[in-house]
Amino acid sequence: MNMTMMRPMVLALGLSSAFGGAVAQEPMKPSGVAEALMANDEKDFFESAASSNMFEIQASQLAMEKSTDPAIKKYAEQMVKDHQMANEKLQKLAESKNVTLPTTLLKRHQAMLDDLKEEKAGKEFDEEYADKMVMSHKEAVSLFDQTAKKGKDPEVKSFAAEMLPKLQMHGGMATELEKKS
């Protein structure tokens, strides 16, 4: 097995350990959803990636307040930490490309956040949060996969390829949380 194939597996084991071994999951595979959402240019990538990061952070902060499930809360804390770090890297890359990142969510992300805000704390919220995390990560995994494979700018392609394994792990973890909800 080559190192490229081992990296997602090592990440899975590490993240599974970080979650007490309770969340053993398969990395999320690209679904092709990004092809419908973007025209394969870097502007679309930056806009979608920034909005996705903001959504993940805001939705997860909400989950830390409203969830009653310790596994959801732990996942939400990890999402905030990881997506804040990803957002910092994205911001640096955008600045180097003279791209201004959006400061508000795209309509599709805002609609998902609004749905979560309307949920009462407890089991229903936990189910909705897990579902939104799966949906959001399917989009992000596809976006980053497509950009890593077909992007025109080498630095943007490299960034997308670097971030993809962690997004796949987040998606796999969200899928497991959704199954348990």
Q: How confident is the model at residue 180 (pLDDT cuts 50, 70, 90)?
A: confident
For the chain, the 3-state helix, strand and coil shares in percent, each to the nearest 5, are: 75, 0, 25
Comparing 2 with 97, the larger pLDDT belongs to 97
- Whether the pLDDT of residue 78 is over 80: the answer is yes
Residue 32: predicted pLDDT: 52
Q: What is the pLDDT of residues 19-73, one digit of tens each?
A: 444 444 566 565 555 444 444 568 899 999 999 999 999 999 999 999 999 999 9
What domains are there in the chain, each with its CATH number? 36-180 (1.20.1260.10)
Q: How confident is the model at residue 104 (pLDDT cuts 50, 70, 90)?
A: very high
Its pTM stands at 0.79
Does residue 169 contact residue 82 with C-beta atoms inside 8 Å? no
Residue 40: predicted pLDDT: 53
Closest of 101, 98, 53 to residue 80, by C-alpha: 53
Does residue 169 contact residue 12 with C-beta atoms inside 8 Å? yes
In Å, what is the CA distance from 103 to each residue of 30, 52, 64, 179? 26, 11, 22, 33
The count of C-alpha atoms lying within 13 angstroms of the C-alpha of 179, restricted to the half-sphere facing its C-beta, is 11
Q: How confident is the model at residue 13 (pLDDT cuts 50, 70, 90)?
A: very low
Handedness of CA 165, 170, 174, 177 (dihedral sign): positive
Comparing 103 with 9, the larger pLDDT belongs to 103
The count of C-alpha atoms lying within 13 angstroms of the C-alpha of 3, restricted to the half-sphere facing its C-beta, is 0
